[in-house]
Amino acid sequence: MNSIEQGTIVYIDFEPSKGSEIRKRRPAVVISRDEYSLSSNLIIVCPVTSTDKNRPYFVSIDNEALKSGSKVNAKQIYTLDFTKRGGRNVEILGKVSTREFTNIAQHVLMNFNFPI
């Protein structure tokens, strides 16, 4: 695998994790640009959760590869090596819709206060 496209849903291992970081092997949505993974062997992802909790930074998504009621956690953003050498055992599950990705991206941006 040479790169992973933006908006792809992957199954990836988040271990090792510490403190409040997301744990275990779980789905995630790739938010990095295609060029980023092509040039670096890294992807930037937001993990997917199936919790019943409602939080302002959870973005609902609907995909047949995921449990019903799945949500993207836009508050936790990770840069991970997707290559075999990285040891994260990445599997491609599918893609989110353009509308879902735009909603995720807007929620991710709420984590930052960049002066423009």
CATH number at residue 70: 2.30.30.110
Task: Identify the band that residue 106 occupies on the pLDDT scale cut at 50, 70 and 90.
Answer: very high
Range of the domain at 23: 8-109
- In percent, the amount of the chain with pLDDT more than 70 equals 100
Residue 1 has pLDDT above 80, yes or no: no
Domain assignment present for residue 3? The answer is: no
> Given this model, what pLDDT does residue 114 score?
82
Whole-angstrom CA distances from 90 to 14, 93, 102, 113 are: 10, 9, 23, 31
Query: Would the pTM of this model clear 0.85, i.e. be above it?
Result: yes
Domain assignment present for residue 1? The answer is: no
Domain assignment present for residue 114? The answer is: no
Domain assignment present for residue 27? The answer is: yes
CA–CA dist 19, 97 (Å, integer):
32
Question: pLDDT, tens digit, for every residue of 59-97?
Answer: 999 999 999 999 999 999 999 999 999 999 999 999 999
Angle at CA of residue 49, ends 91 and 103, nearest 5°: 90
**How many structural domains does the chain have?**
1
Domain assignment present for residue 47? The answer is: yes
